[in-house]
Each structure stands twice: as structure tokens, then as C-alpha cells.
A and B are shown apart, each in its own frame.
Chain A
Amino acid sequence: MTFRKYLVLAGVTLCASIGDSLLSRGMKQLGSISLHHPSDLILAVLNPSVAVGILLLLGFFASYMTALSWADLTYVLPATSLGYVLLTLIAKFYLQEAVTTSRWIGVLLISAGVGFVTRGPALTRQSDALPDDVKYETASAGNRP
């Protein structure tokens, strides 16, 4: 894993959580949208929070696709779940919301999960995916004189 790849994973995490928060804030500013006026939904993109939120979610999708091009799905998903932790920290320190003990335990569990997965390899090599007996056969075939 290079520094640039960690930056892509950080991009997935940050774009998803900040993008979702901005969309949520923008849609709350607009109030409820009636099905009788669907044009309001299209005009919602003119709200700055919604517009920046959409741009960040596009950034999320691009960095998520980039990460999947060189890392396993079972690596990318837990590694980028730090976004949940980030949202809790934003709620506590920026929005001054009360965070319960069970939510702090949730933050700890997610952080532990991220720690677990990022200490291992990011991508399964083809030889790792083979069952052990096949791997042994391949290895011994390669050692034959």
C-alpha cells in the first residue's frame, strides 16, 4: 500500500460522510417536497449544500471505484467505515449533540475493525485464493527439476 492509495481510501471515507451530511442539511433547509411539485426536486440542486453534497458523492463514487481496482471488496468496505466514526465526532464536537455510551462503544468497535483489516494485505493474490491442496500441487510442480 502506497501513500497515494491511502489517500484514495481517505477520499472514499471523507467524500461519503461529508457529502451525506451536506445533502441532509440542504434538504432540511428546503423543507418537505410534495409529489405534486416534482420540479422542486430538480430545483433542489440550486441549494449550495445540495450542489456541493452531490459533487462530493460523485467524488466518493470515483474514489470507491478506484480503490476497488486495486483492493479487495472485503478490504475496502471495512477500511472506509471510519466515516461512521467521523460523523459521530462531527455530531459531538461540531453540532454539540449528546453522544451516548453505547454509541461510543460502537465507535470503538468500528475503529477496532478498521485496525484489524488495514494491518492485513489489501489484495488477494491468485495463489492465495486457491485451496491449500491445489497451492501445494502448484508449488511442488514448480520445484520439480
Chain B
Amino acid sequence: MKQAYAWGAIAAIVLSSTTGDVLLSRAMKQVGDVGALWRQSGLWTVVARILRNPNFLLGVLAMTTAFYSLLFGLSWGDVSLIAPASASLTFVTNAVAAKIFLHERVDRRRWMAALLVAGGVVLLAA
């Protein structure tokens, strides 16, 4: 039963952190190139534009949910399962979500990169 809770927590971490990454990425594309904007209008304009973006605020909320899911997960399961399983799966789900929701061009090169890094993360924790 504890194992089921642990995998439930892993699913919650993966889902919320993928949602957070996609929302933050969308927010920053809407804000535009931070370096160029900073040179043009100053740091406070950049900060204000980021903080006023609804996708940014929702993204931070999703990332907070991911963090608390991790804390709950760690109280139910082993850190050696929860941390690498969620980190590794997030690389793969992010590639799928970026293709669907952000319309990024995830070609063979990017799929290979996501899968290699996901596999590497699992081996590092083994």
C-alpha cells in the first residue's frame, strides 16, 4: 500500500512540475528576450512584466505543488525511488508537453537527449 502512495506522489510531482515548466516557459516567451528588454527599458520593467504575467503566477503555483508533493512523497517512500523516478520521468513528460502545448519542434535529436538524460538520472541514483 505504501508503494502505491509513493507512486501516487511520483505521479503528482511529475504532473505538477511539467505543468509548471510549460507555464513558466510560455510566460517567458510572452515576456520576450529578457536581456534585450533589460537594455531597452531597465530591470524594473522586466520584473514588473514577469510578475504581472498570469502564466508565470500559475507556473510558480504548480512548482510549489510539485515541491510539496515531493515532501509528502518522501514521507511515504524511499528518497532513492521518489527523487530519481520523478526527475527522470519529468524529462520525458516535458518533451511531450512542450510538443503539444508549446508547439516546440521536438525532433529526433531532442527526443534522444531527453531519453539519454532520463536514463542517466536513473543510473546516477542506482
Residue positions of A touching B, CB distance < 8 A: 4, 64-66, 68-70, 72-75, 77-78, 81, 84, 88, 100, 102-103, 105-114, 116-117, 119-120, 124, 128-129
Contacts and interface: CB of A to CB of B under 8 A. Distances in A.
B29 to A, nearest CB: 7
Given A113-B113, A129-B105, A68 B25 contact: yes
Given A78-B114, A78-B117, A84-B124, A69 B104 contact: no
A19 B73 CA distance: 22
Q: Which of A78, A111, A117, A124 has its CB near the most chain B CB atoms (within 10 A)?
A: A78
Interface residues of B, number: 38
Contact of A74 (B28, B34, B114, B119): B114
B24 interface: yes
Nearest to A117: B113
B121 A106 contact: yes
B121 A81 contact: yes
Q: Which of A73, A88, A107, A120 has its CB near the most chain B CB atoms (within 10 A)?
A: A73
B123 A69 contact: no
Interface string B87-121: 00001001100110011111101101111110111
Contact of A110 (B99, B104, B120): B120
18 contacts: A64-B24, A72-B98, A72-B102, A73-B21, A74-B95, A77-B21, A77-B114, A78-B114, A78-B117, A88-B124, A106-B120, A106-B121, A106-B124, A106-B126, A107-B124, A113-B114, A113-B115, A124-B103
B125 to A, nearest CB: 8
Nearest to B106: A74
B116 A73 contact: no
A69 B46 CA distance: 11
B117 A110 contact: yes
